[in-house]
C-alpha cells in the first residue's frame, strides 16, 4: 500500500479533515497517532481504525499548551516507534476585521493556527530527521492565498502558515525533509459550526458556496485526505515547498 510503514502524527483528528486524513492514511497502510480535544471522538476513531485492521493512537491535546505539545509528540514517537510524517491539521476559524475588531478572535487565530503549528513542528522535526523519507503537511486554506472581508485573523493566520511552509521547506531540504501545504476551499466539515454557525446558516452557506466555486460544488473531506496521502507518499518525493490548492477553482474567482 502507498503508505506502508509510515508513522504519522495528525493533529486535530476529532472530526472533519483530520479524521478523514487519519482514516485514509490507515487504509493506505500507515500507523497513526491522532490528537484532539474530544476524547470520545478520538476513541471512536481509534476503534474504527482498529476494526479496519490498522493502528491509531488517540492523544487528547490542547495545542495552545506547549507542554501538551511536547507530551503529544513524545508519546506519538514512542508508541509508533518513530515519526516519518507530521500533519498539522488542527485549526479554527473566526470572524473579525478592522471595522469590527475582536482581539480575542485575533489572538485565538494566531494561537491555534500559527503558534501551535510552529511549536509542534519544532518539537517533531528532531524525530522526523531520523525518520524514513520524512515530510510535513500543513493544512492551510484558500484564505491564505486571497483575502476575504470579515475574516481578518483567519486569512492572516493561514497566510502565515503558507509562508512558514515555504521557509521550513528551504531550511529542511538539505536534511531530506519535505514540507508542503494544502489550501482547501469550502469543504464539508464541522469547522464553521464549531465557530458558532447554526445548522440553517451552514446549509445556506454551503448552497451559496456552489456559486462561489467555479466547479459548482463544495469539496469533500475525503478529497483533501487523498491529496494529503499523495503528498506524504514516496511518489511525491520531489515535491516540497508547494501550496497545493484543492478548492474547485475558488482562488481563481472574484469575491462574491
Helices (H), the chain: 16-27, 39-51, 66-80, 103-110, 116-128, 152-173, 191-194, 199-212, 221-232
| pLDDT, tens digit, 9 for 90 and up, residues 37-49 | 999 999 999 999 9
| pLDDT, tens digit, 9 for 90 and up, residues 106-161 | 999 999 999 999 999 999 999 999 999 999 999 999 999 999 999 999 999 999 99
Domain covering 7-244 in this structure, CATH number: 3.40.50.720
Residue 148 annotated as catalytic: no
| pLDDT, tens digit, 9 for 90 and up, residues 179-194 | 999 999 999 877 666 6
Domain edges within the chain = 7-244
Cβ atoms < 10 Å from Cβ of 239: 16
Query: What mean pLDDT is predicted for residues 98-108?
Result: 95
Three-state DSSP at 178 gives strand
Of 95, 118, 148, 154, which residue is the catalytic one? 154
pLDDT recorded at residue 200 = 85
pLDDT recorded at residue 189 = 79
pLDDT above 80 for 195: no
Tell me the pLDDT band of 256, cut-offs 50, 70 and 90: low
Element (H, E) at 31: strand 31-36
Three-state DSSP at 137 gives strand
Q: Are 238 and 246 in contact (CB under 8 A)?
A: no
Nearest one of 103, 86, 74 to 139, comparing CA atoms = 86
Dist CA 68 CA 249 (whole Å): 37
Dist CA 235 CA 231 (whole Å): 8
pLDDT recorded at residue 178 = 98
Average model confidence (pLDDT) across the chain: 94
Q: What are phi and psi of 5, to 5 degrees?
A: 75, 5
Dist CA 56 CA 72 (whole Å): 14
Amino acid at each position: 500500500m502507498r503508505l506502508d510503514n509510515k508513522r504519522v502524527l495528525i493533529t486535530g483528528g476529532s472530526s472533519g479533515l483530520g479524521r478523514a486524513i487519519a482514516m485514509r492514511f490507515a487504509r493506505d497502510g500507515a500507523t497513526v497517532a491522532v490528537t484532539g480535544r474530544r476524547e470520545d471522538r478520538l476513541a471512536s476513531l481509534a476503534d474504527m481504525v482498529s476494526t479496519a485492521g490498522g493502528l491509531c493512537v488517540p492523544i487528547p491535546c490542547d495545542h495552545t499548551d506547549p507542554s501538551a505539545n511536547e507530551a503529544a509528540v513524545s508519546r506519538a514517537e514512542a508508541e509508533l516507534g518513530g515519526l516519518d510524517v507530521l500533519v498539522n491539521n488542527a485549526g479554527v476559524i473566526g470572524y473579525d476585521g478592522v471595522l469590527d475588531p475582536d482581539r480575542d478572535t485575533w489572538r485565538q487565530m494566531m494561537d491555534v493556527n500559527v503558534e501551535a503549528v510552529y511549536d509542534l513542528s519544532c518539537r517533531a522535526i528532531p524525530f522526523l530527521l531520523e525518520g524514513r523519507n520524512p515530510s510535513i503537511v500543513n493544512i492551510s486554506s484558500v484564505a491564505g492565498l486571497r483575502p476575504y472581508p470579515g475574516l481578518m485573523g483567519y486569512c492572516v493566520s493561514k497566510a502565515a502558515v503558507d509562508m512558514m511552509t515555504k521557509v521550513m521547506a528551504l531550511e529542511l531540504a538539505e536534511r531530506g525533509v519535505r514540507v508542503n501545504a494544502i489550501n482547501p476551499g469550502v469543504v464539508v466539515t464541522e469547522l464553521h459550526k464549531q465557530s458558532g454557525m447554526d445548522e440553517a446558516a451552514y446549509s445556506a452557506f454551503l448552497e451559496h458556496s456552489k456559486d462561489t466555486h467555479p466547479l459548482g460544488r463544495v469539496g469533500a473531506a475525503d478529497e483533501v485526505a487523498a491529496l494529503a496521502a499523495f503528498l506524504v507518499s514516496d511518489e511525491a518525493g520531489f515535491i516540497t515547498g508547494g501550496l497545493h490548492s484543492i478548492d474547485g477553482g475558488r482562488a481563481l474567482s472574484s469575491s462574491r
